[in-house]
Chain A
Amino acid sequence: MIEASEWAVRTENLSYRYPNGRLGCQGLNLTIGRGRVFGLLGPNGAGKSTLVKMLTGLLRPTAGRAWIFGRPLGDRQVRRRMGFLPELFRQPDWLTGLELLRFHGALLGLSGRDLAQHVEEAWNRVGLPEEASRRRIGTYSKGMQQRLGLAVALLGDPDLLFLDEPTSALDPVGRRDVRVLLGQLREAGKTVFLNSHLISEVERTCDEIAIIRGGRVVLSGPVAALEGDGRHVLALVREFPPRVQARAAELLGPLLDHWTVEAPGSGTGSSAEAGLAYWGNEDARMGGGLIRVHAVLREPGATPALARALVAAGAALHGLAEERRSLEEIFMQAVNAPVFPEAEAQHAGGSPAGHGGSGEGGRP
């Protein structure tokens, strides 16, 4: 449990219902620690932007409460410490880049030398060329406008940044620059709330994530812990008849949540398989001859117990490794994404061997 003085954002049953009755967010409970880079993931229409809009004061929650730096939403003092880059925005194209930053600086209450200094800092930080500062924004490329939006968000050296799809209009160089910037912000002790569709971006930059679907948080936690939580283990065995399965499950007892058994030749190229292959297990690389047991344990650190149980039950154990899931796998599992029709058709028409040997078992 994070102490109140250590969190930047906290929500308690935060909900938003649109006038047409549709729920944007329902009962969201989130705590984001200070100095953390937090990523919000979710499919389209999950409620990500609704949440960001509530936290930045664009929408008023219809139920629940939220605090930023210990102050309720909408507090003007807190807003001075916030920067915001919306997902869909357009800058006033009749202003120059410099005028836009000065305007936002004035809204922050900055003036004189202080204003000039903050404007210069924000401008230089996003890598915009000097010559563009006195050009009308209407002449900027999409990428330059996105960088300018970032500069607006960074103005005034905020302690908390809400970035809604910050790399959407950027080229690969721009995306790398944003990653570097996020790293600098983390080092400077700033809190970043990153809303993105790009899982790889979130995976590379965020300390913690939350996945929301249908307006509810379905999974949250530190990225490292979610990806390699020590509870998912791949075992390669020569044979795994029901008798051996039942005995192994009995030996593991409450340590086992469930396992999935895959027939030989159905390797998925998971990180655990790659790891086993790296250490010389050719069966894992080729995916041939061995049965894959994907065990989900109730507690991390129970891998040795799994190994002992499998051997004791009579399974010929050829390899064992903790599975490290990619964030994409975690995301897909969490949102239970529907299979595309064409993929479904392929599966239906494929070899029964691909599925025939698969099954779930060992649920104690």
Chain B
Amino acid sequence: MWVMARFVWREAWRRRLVPAALILAVVYVSLFRLGLDHLLQRTAEGLGRPFVRLYLVAFMLVFALYGASLMVSVVTILASVGAISGEIDSGILQPIVARPVRRWEIVGGKYLGYGALLVLLSLTMAWSLVVIGMDRLGPGFWGQVLWDVTPSFALTPLVVLAVTLLGSVLLPTLGNGIAVFGLFSVAFIGGAMGQIGAMVQNRWVYQIGRLSTFVLPSDGLYWAAARRVVETLSEAAASGGAGGVGPGAALGPQGRPMSGYDLSQMMGPFGASAPQPPWFLAYAAAFAGVVLLLAMLAMERRRL
């Protein structure tokens, strides 16, 4: 399995997947930093209200995390869509399968190889965004927000990768791309629907959206992270721990103490109004594990 993982790492490097993803991440994070600083500068000049600073940082951070989550999912799909099917079509895999390796080890090695790289990319992006955002609020609760995003952003590429690998074992590359992007779109639209449904208190839309996050939990993972970030920021501000923002940030726009719910409502659909069940992270991890197991079993029966 390690031999296969090293094979994937070398391929990712030689095919410039790693440098391309790193450049993309640097550009994305830099854009976030520029935009956030510009906004804060303009707003501080115009309003000077601490809660606005908190609101802007929270909104921009959660929004940027959304983009990062999307980017990680898309990079995961593009990188691994032909991991098995493409190598079967090109004839690369046949001499490998004839070696004394178990077929499931090939899938496991690919998962390990791509998974490690993509988790690294995902966490690098998420942590960079958090550090930049929290730096604009002053010291105090970086650690908590970093912890808020870590499980979700570590699991997102692992979930998408498991599904893409299963598709790559079962389907031709093009069919797999269409199927996985289709699933991803369902989760994406469903996730947004769930948040909008919760925001406008439409139970039917909320439930449909929520159900869709279980089909492919990648989008649900993002919303779980966003919810925790919003709660942490609200609580920290309310307790006066928002560093540069200061205790004044505890007061909302109407001058009353601010809660996580207030901030969430103010941020519209990005306020993550619809909470995920507490076991959602465990569900996502189990989902990735079961799908990976299915991919390994399917590989055992795959005609080559």
Which residues of A are at the interface with B, using a C-beta cutoff of 8 A? 19, 53, 56-60, 76-77, 79-80, 82, 84-86, 88-92, 94-95, 99, 103-104, 106-109, 136, 149, 152-153, 162
Contacts and interface: CB of A to CB of B under 8 A. Distances in A.
A59 B303 contact: yes
Given A58-B97, A82-B98, A94-B15, A103 B7 contact: yes
Nearest to A16: B303
Contact of A86 (B11, B91, B301): B91
Contact of B91 (A60, A77, A89, A108): A89
A66 B100 CA distance: 17
Given A86-B91, A94-B14, A99-B10, 4 more contacts: A89-B94, A89-B95, A94-B11, A94-B15
Contact of B100 (A79, A91, A92, A152): A79
Contacts of A108: 99-100
A64 B101 CA distance: 24
B101 A86 contact: no
Interface of B: 3, 7, 10-11, 14-15, 90-92, 94-102, 301, 303-304
Given A59-B303, A94-B11, A94-B14, A89 B98 contact: no
Contacts of B10: 94-95, 99
A89 B92 contact: yes
A152 B95 contact: yes
A145 to B, nearest CB: 11
Given A58-B304, A103-B7, A109 B91 contact: no
6 contacts: A19-B303, A58-B304, A84-B95, A89-B91, A103-B7, A104-B95
B95 A109 contact: no
Contacts of A107: 3, 96, 99-101
B304 A90 contact: no
B11 A104 contact: no
A107 B3 CA distance: 7
A77 B99 CA distance: 10
B3 A103 contact: yes
Contacts of A80: 100
B11 A92 contact: yes
Nearest to A162: B98
Nearest to A53: B304
B39 to A, nearest CB: 42
A90 B3 contact: no
A229 to B, nearest CB: 36
Contacts of B94: 56, 58, 84, 86, 89
Contacts of B90: 90
A57 B98 contact: yes
B100 A109 contact: yes
A139 to B, nearest CB: 13
B196 to A, nearest CB: 44
A59 B94 CA distance: 10
Nearest to A89: B91
Nearest to A92: B92
Nearest to B87: A92
A77 B100 contact: yes
A90 B14 CA distance: 17
A86 B11 CA distance: 22
A107 to B, nearest CB: 4
B21 to A, nearest CB: 16
B3 A106 contact: yes
A95 to B, nearest CB: 7
Nearest to B13: A94
* Nearest 6 interchain pairs by C-beta: A89-B91, A94-B14, A58-B304, A79-B100, A107-B99, A84-B98
A175 to B, nearest CB: 21
Nearest to A79: B100
B92 A90 contact: yes
